[in-house]
Structure 1
Amino acid sequence: MGLLGGSFDPAHAGHAHLTRQALMRFGLDQVWWLVSPGNPLKQHGPAPLSQRVEQARALMQHPRVRITALEAQMQTRFTAQTLRGLIARYPGVRFVWLMGADNLVQFDQWQDWRWIMNTVPVGVLARPGDRISARLSKAARIYQSARIPATASQMLPHKDAPAWCFVNMPMIRLSSSAIRARASGAEVTGSVLPGVVKGG
């Protein structure tokens, strides 16, 4: 079970692309999007949670992807808190934490990040401009011995933590911040949600 957290403000085709790549590259049964109430590392608050969940569901229509607001339901703010809650709630499920390579760069700033690495396998998918900096990041260096090769990426869900895998994927140069800037406060349109991404 892959977990992809974020503000999804707004959800876009890049999130969908990363999710489909994660399903394929890591051999996951499902991916859950954890649409967060807010990002502790960002100064400005996101759009209302219900709006972001609705946008995400409109975008990502896939039988193996579930859009959730579990962090709000569990009243957790940090990833480690969320993982503790999910592990307690679903004791038989093997979770894999998913992130873009840009998040690996700042992963050592996350609360209890070492606990995360030592508790669940982590799948890292390379996005534009972050490959080198991610591989040289503090977390990558400290956990170098726990890295499994991209050629064995489908084994990641079956590995005991600490275990992580870095895979390159075809690039889609989209980011939520760029979309928000382009929208300039206007209502969300088809250009912000560039086509419904369906399963198949």
Structure 2
Amino acid sequence: MGPHFPLAPPGATIGLLGGSFDPAHAAHLAISRTALRRLKLDRVWWLVSPGNPLKAHGPAPLAARMAAAQALTHDPRIVVTDIEARLGLRKTADTIAALQRLYPGARFVWLMGSDNLVQFHHWDRWREIAAAVPIAVMARPGSRLAARGAPAAQVLRRARLPEHRAALLARMAPPAWTLLNMPMSPLSSTQIRNGGRHA
């Protein structure tokens, strides 16, 4: 393992929160803290991406986004990493496969907001992602109900874990997912860059 790769003790349960983090903000912290508490995770890794292939405009420089994210966290259980850039990866399915090869003793859980579940069926190889790792979906304002009826949620409905059993998710064989209700700021990174206005 390279010196710039995060450490994962054997048996560790690790939430993976991917994104451009442009910039990192309170909602990222809220998702991470909720996941640590409700899913009984040992760590959450912020996978600061080289760039989102679904977005037309590139993000701020990676080093700047990394520095801002690290300045925000103040929690040793939340680890900011540019491992995707170091491995030359951009697609979630490839990232998960690589991490499972690099850290065979770890148990990963993919973390996403409910707004992402609504469009999850458009992701490259989304079924492969769902078959590779358990998924925790954090309810976000405006997309909670839409997430419940999302195409991917319907396909995976038999794999859904009731919220009161969420602490078991990290040790379940995929496909397995749960939807966690949580209070959260409605702001996105785009709105924060625009001074809090809706994008």
What is the Cα deviation at residue 173 of structure 1? 2.1
Partner of 2:110: 97
Q: 1:55 aligns with which of 68, 84, 89?
A: 68
RMSD (Å), alpha carbons: 1.1
Residue number in structure 2 paired with 1:76 = 89
Within-5 A mapping of 1:50-199 = 50-182=63-195
Number of the residue aligned with 1:38 = 51
Summarize deviations over 1:133-176 as a string: whole Å, max 9, x none: 11110100000000000000100001100000001001222210
- For 2:44 and 2:87, the matched residues in 1 are separated by 18
Decide whether the 8 Å contact of 2:187 with 2:196 is kept in 1.
no
Distance (whole Å) between structure 1 residues aligned to residue 58 and residue 190 of structure 2: 12
Gaps of 5+ in 2: 1-13
The answer to whether the 8 A contact 2:114-2:143 is kept is yes
**Overall identity of the aligned pairs, in %:** 54
| Residue type at the aligned position of 2:156 | Y
Query: TM-score, with normalisation over the residues of structure 1?
Result: 0.90
Alignment partner of 1:22 is 2:54: no
- Alpha-carbon shift at residue 124 of structure 1 (Å): 0.4
Q: Which amino acid aligns with 1:104?
A: L
Superposition TM-score, scaled by structure 2 size: 0.90
Question: CA shift at 1:183, angstroms?
Answer: 7.8
Q: Distance in 2 between matches of 1:176 and 1:170?
A: 17
SS at match of 1:172: coil
Amino acid in structure 1 at the alignment position of 2:42:
D
Question: 2:53 is aligned with what amino acid?
Answer: P
Of 167-176 and 88-97, more deviation after overlay is shown by: 167-176
**C-alpha separation between the residues in 2 aligned to 1:125 and 1:56?**
20
- Output one character per residue of 1:99-156: Cα deviation in whole Å (capped at 9) or x when no partner: 0000001101111100110110000000111101111101000000000000001000
- Supply the AA of the counterpart residue of 1:66: V
Aligned residues: 184
